Amino acid sequence: MVQTGERLASTASERYLLVYMIAVLVIVTTLVIIFFVVFLKRKNKLLLDQIKRQQAFEAEIAQAQTETQEQTLKNIGWELHDNVGQLLSFASMQLSILKMQVSDDVKEKFKDTSDALKESLAEVRMLSKTLNNEVVLNIGFEKSITNELNRLKKMKFTSAELKIIGDKVNFNDRKHEIIIFRILQEFLSNSVKYSQAKNLNIILNYQTNNLIITATDDGKGFDMEEVEKGSGLINMKSRATLINATLELRSKPNEGVKLELNYPL
């Protein structure tokens, strides 16, 4: 009986010890899991903070670059309007004076030169307006795009059309009008320089919460892998990022270029 009692006591003691060890193991495991979860949360928070700081830094850099570019464009616009415009006006005036001092036969020879000067002066004045933010804001977003397309149509394009779908929605921040206009201006500039296109089209699709902008040309296109590193696309994408818009450029050789911009209103 004594041995049986001792055996039962020993068994009970072993059970208590086993329960104690399991409890300790559970507690330690729980603490390890809690520590690991807390560690992951802190790590993720630090990573998110770092990403946010990096994004804020990149946004500041992009904003600074954009402001510098805008100031440069404004200065060029002033130079074109005030200096080049005045020189062309003076040349046109001098030519008109000369025409009055020559015979009728010679006057006809002045006509082409005089017309070319007048067209150049009108082109310079129109270009100077598109480079100045204040002018763009005064005449409006859609009118500025129309003026730019009309200017390009006179230069070399068979057609350059703007189509508007839906009811116009005003921008919450009018600076965003400038940024989107500059993106489209960059696209159109590239079409002029590289595409060999004959037709340009821009569609403004005003939806409930978004403005979907589609710009296309029917030029020779390009290989997307080659253009990814180009400063023009980088510049357009950095501007789009500033206004929380998404920008996608698609093209293939001999299939033209298509730009899609999704801007949240």
CA distance 239 to 259: 14
Residue 33: the pLDDT is 87
Residue 68: the pLDDT is 54
Mean pLDDT of 183-210: 91
Report the amino acid identity of residue 22: I
Highest-scoring range by mean pLDDT, 148-157, 160-169, 186-195:
160-169
Which of 77, 89, 79, 65 minimizes the C-alpha distance to 135?
A: 77
Residues 204, 183 contacting (CB under 8 angstroms): no
CA distance 97 to 16: 117
Give residue limits of the domains in the chain: 156-265
CATH of 156-265, one of 3.10.450.750, 3.40.50.920, 3.90.950.10, 3.30.565.10: 3.30.565.10
pLDDT over 60 (residue 104)? yes
- What lies within 8 Å, CB to CB, of 253 at 6+ separation is 220, 221, 222, 223
Residue 23: the pLDDT is 83
pLDDT over 90 (residue 215)? yes
Residues 149, 160 contacting (CB under 8 angstroms): yes
Residue-wise pLDDT for 66-92, tens only, equals 555 665 666 566 566 566 666 667 667
The per-residue DSSP string of 187-249 comes to HHHHIIIII--SEEEEEEEE-SSEEEEEEEE-S----HHHHTT-HHHHHHHHHHHHTT-EEEE
Which of 251, 133, 247 minimizes the C-alpha distance to 184?
A: 247
Which of 55, 8, 4 minimizes the C-alpha distance to 241?
A: 55
Residue 265: the pLDDT is 83
Q: Which one has a higher pLDDT value, 110 or 81?
A: 110
Compute, in degrees rounded to 10, the torsion defined by CA atoms 140, 146, 152, 154.
-120
Residue-wise pLDDT for 123-161, tens only, equals 777 777 777 777 788 888 899 899 889 888 887 788 999
pLDDT over 70 (residue 118)? yes
CA distance 51 to 65: 21
Residue 230: the pLDDT is 63
End-to-end CA distance of the chain: 89
The kind and range of the H/E element at 260 are strand 257-264
Highest-scoring range by mean pLDDT, 121-125, 139-143, 198-202, 242-246:
198-202
Residues 129, 77 contacting (CB under 8 angstroms): yes
pLDDT over 70 (residue 254)? yes
Grade residue 64 by pLDDT with cuts at 50, 70 and 90: low
**CA 38 to each of CA 24, 43, 44, 49: distance values in angstroms, whole numbers, following the listed order:** 21, 8, 10, 16
Mean pLDDT of 227-232: 64
Q: Is this prediction's pTM over 0.85?
A: no
